[in-house]
Amino acid sequence: MDMAFKVVFLAHTPDAEPEKHNCVIETSKYKLFTVLVKDQNQAVEVCKKLVKEEGIHSILLCPGFTHRDVAEISEAVGEKVAVAVARGDGPGSRISMEVIKKEEMKMSAKRKRDKVKKAVKRKPKLSIKEKRKLRREKHKEE
């Protein structure tokens, strides 16, 4: 029986939910798992889990992983699993960084808008005098 080569590709994104943001592409000879992770802790956990449950042979990391991240993942999964980083050429890396920065700016602007919306929705705090006045008015209506 032939065994498929099993690889997981991991990429960072701030809104990732690994249980939800993943997929598998498979042939009889190759099985590629793709998982989005929020941070290094999730990356380590996902790698350990897939190595144990799926028998992953190789882990391919997006360029956002640092040398320390790579070392930590490599140590967590053991010597029998290859760990590599997908690196681009100069122009490719520059293009990727520009897109990432634009997305971060959009996310930052959205958080600011959401914060303003939240502040507007809050009821203003009333002074003690205003609260008493409202109670009196309510009492008169009854």
- Check pLDDT > 60 for residue 1: no
* Single-letter amino acid, residue 4: A
Name the pTM for this structure: 0.67
Q: Are 33 and 5 in contact (CB under 8 A)?
A: no
Q: 52-74 pLDDT, tens per residue? A: 999 999 999 998 899 999 999 99
- Whether residue 68 contacts residue 45, with contact meaning beta carbons closer than 8 Å, is answered with no
Whole-number pLDDT of residue 71:
97
Please state which CATH number belongs to domain 1-87.
3.40.980.10
26 strand-pairing partners: 31
User: What token pair was written down for 18?
Assistant: 């690994």
The predicted-structure confidence for 18-53, as pLDDT tens digits, reads as follows 999 999 999 999 999 999 999 999 999 999 999 999
Residue boundaries of the structural domains of the chain: 1-87, 88-142
